[in-house]
């Protein structure tokens, strides 16, 4: 019962913070959208302002939600080294929760956020606040054939157009970010689902760095079947570079199928990323479970002895860097 009370309290506070921290970027996007109609030449500047505000305020959201303890190893290296080879970047992650999106966006380096495009579901493009932000930032909407969350079938013709748009963005040195599982993992959170190979046609066509993010615990904070999140939880993750060159990674010299067959190269890159993320999840899942038990015990102590002046350490949101 005590933990249920904490869940409810955390959810209410998180929902308030989420609305407030999304309202500011939405307001900027709304004004920028109107302004771009009057002065189209200023549209790129408005877009960059929206992108920076989203990262900044969603970092603030996670910092304010101090009962959600987050540690993502490798953040500093990612922010420093991503794109250092001069190649575009692909960033992929396993997908457990709606929390994954704000968390992933908060990891992005502020100096490079204007170069980022996400592949997002059509549902995000219809949600209040988010639809204006998605439209203004020109993220890529995945055209699923049906609104059924269990359906992974896409409109192939429209998807080809969207992928070409993202490919052109990468050729200009941009970042492409998405969740290759295609939907929230509603099963065993420690088992990374199959990575759909369609998106990996991009690094099979454009030589790119590939970065992977492995997350554990986001589903405890925001369960996949809940409309709102914010439950007390411990979230751990790691971000690492799979390869500096997707062409080299898929080459026959590295055990890949080569680039002659784009479909085979895409499947190889997808499975390589999935296996590395699975190994990372296997490594951090026991640590997350142990931290969650410690946090639960701390919450029980606080509720049983509310008069005790006990100060918990601040959550380690990220390793640092900008």
Question: Is the distance from CB of 128 to CB of 227 less than 8 angstroms?
Answer: no
Residue 167 to residue 26: CA distance in whole angstroms? 27
Is residue 308 predicted with pLDDT exceeding 70? no
Q: What pLDDT is recorded for position 64?
A: 96
> Which of 7-21, 35-49, 124-138 is modeled with the greatest confidence?
7-21
- Residue range 13-43, pLDDT digits in tens: 999 999 999 999 999 998 877 766 666 655 6
Q: What pLDDT is recorded for position 292?
A: 61
3.40.50.300, 3.40.1130.10, 3.40.50.1100, 1.10.3470.10: which CATH number matches 2-304? 3.40.1130.10
Q: What pLDDT is recorded for position 93?
A: 98
Q: What pLDDT is recorded for position 314?
A: 40
Residue 119 to residue 23: CA distance in whole angstroms? 22
Taking alpha carbons only, the member of 239, 205, 233 closest to residue 220 is: 233
| Cα-based distances in Å from 153 to 124, 163, 179, 316 | 17, 15, 15, 39
Q: What is the pTM of this model?
A: 0.86
Residue 226 to residue 263: CA distance in whole angstroms? 36
235 SS3 class? strand
Q: Are strands 89-93 and 140-142 parallel, antiparallel or unpaired?
A: unpaired
Mean pLDDT of 278-298: 76
Q: How confident is the model at residue 176 (pLDDT cuts 50, 70, 90)?
A: very high
Is residue 322 predicted with pLDDT exceeding 70? no
- Could you tell me which residue, 150 or 162, shows the higher pLDDT? 162
Mean pLDDT of 122-149: 81
- Could you tell me which residue, 300 or 160, shows the higher pLDDT? 160
User: For residue 215, what are the contacts with CB-CB under 8 A and spacing of at least 6?
Assistant: 93, 94, 96, 100, 103, 235, 236, 237, 281
- Residue range 60-91, pLDDT digits in tens: 999 999 999 999 999 999 999 999 999 999 99
Query: Of 1-10, 61-70, 127-136, 307-316, which gets the smallest average pLDDT?
Result: 307-316
Q: What pLDDT is recorded for position 295?
A: 58
Q: How confident is the model at residue 255 (pLDDT cuts 50, 70, 90)?
A: confident
């Amino acid at each position: 019962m005590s933990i249920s009370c904490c869940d409810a309290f955390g959810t209410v506070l998180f929902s308030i913070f989420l609305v407030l921290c999304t309202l500011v970027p939405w307001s900027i996007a709304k004004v920028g959208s109107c302004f771009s109609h009057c002065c189209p030449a200023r549209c790129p500047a408005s877009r960059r302002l929206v992108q920076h505000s989203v990262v900044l305020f969603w970092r603030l959201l996670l910092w304010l939600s101090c009962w959600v303890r987050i540690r993502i190893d490798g953040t500093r290296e990612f922010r420093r080294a991503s794109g250092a080879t001069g190649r575009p970047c692909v960033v992929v992650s396993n997908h457990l929760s709606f929390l994954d999106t704000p968390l992933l966006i908060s990891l992005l380096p502020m100096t490079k956020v204007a170069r980022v495009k996400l592949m997002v579901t059509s549902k995000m493009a219809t949600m209040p606040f988010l639809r204006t932000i998605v439209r203004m930032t020109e993220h890529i909407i995945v055209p699923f054939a049906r609104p059924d969350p269990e359906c992974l079938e896409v409109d192939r013709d429209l998807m080809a157009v969207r992928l070409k748009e993202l490919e052109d963005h990468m050729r200009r040195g941009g970042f492409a970010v998405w969740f290759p599982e295609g939907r929230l993992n509603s099963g065993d959170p420690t088992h990374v689902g199959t990575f759909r190979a369609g998106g990996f046609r991009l690094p099979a066509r454009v030589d790119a760095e590939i970065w992977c993010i492995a997350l554990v615990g986001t589903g405890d904070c925001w369960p996949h079947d809940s409309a709102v999140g914010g439950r007390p939880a411990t979230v751990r993750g790691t971000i690492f570079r799979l390869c500096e060159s997707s062409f080299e990674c898929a080459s026959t010299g590295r055990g890949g199928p080569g680039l002659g067959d784009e479909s085979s190269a895409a499947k190889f890159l997808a499975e390589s990323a999935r296996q590395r993320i699975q190994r990372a999840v296997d490594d951090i899942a026991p640590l997350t479970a142990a931290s969650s038990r410690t946090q639960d015990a701390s919450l029980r102590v606080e509720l049983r002895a509310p008069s005790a002046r006990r100060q918990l350490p601040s959550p380690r949101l990220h390793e640092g860097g900008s």
